[in-house]
Amino acid sequence: MILTIIFETAAIIFIKLSNGFEQKGWLISGIVTYLLSFIFLTMSLKQIPAGIANATWAGASTILVALLGILIFKEQLSGLQLIFLALIVVGLVGLNLAK
């Protein structure tokens, strides 16, 4: 699952760097990393229930993309947006502790 999250996060960053399909190298990198993400997700689904896997994947990659957006692209988030991102973290922790 960790590799799924890492590759999906990388895919989003690469696609952002492609600047709307203008930078073909970044676009191809994004497509390849999305494909790898789906391969690792498929492998994860052998061990993890689909609902938990999807929530973990979506939530964790959302947090990582938001953080990388701040660090790499100098994007800004409001205080309210940061609170809701923190709630995603709380939800992910709770979801994985409640086994």
pLDDT digit string (tens) for 64-83?
999 999 999 999 999 999 99
On average, the pLDDT of the chain sits at 96
Predicted local confidence at residue 39, as pLDDT: 98
Residue pair 62/50 in contact (Cβ under 8 Å)? The answer is: no
Q: How confident is the model at residue 96 (pLDDT cuts 50, 70, 90)?
A: confident
Burial letters 44-63, b for 16+ CB under 10 A, else e: beeebeeebbebbbebbbbb
Residue pair 30/18 in contact (Cβ under 8 Å)? The answer is: yes
pLDDT greater than 90 at residue 59: yes
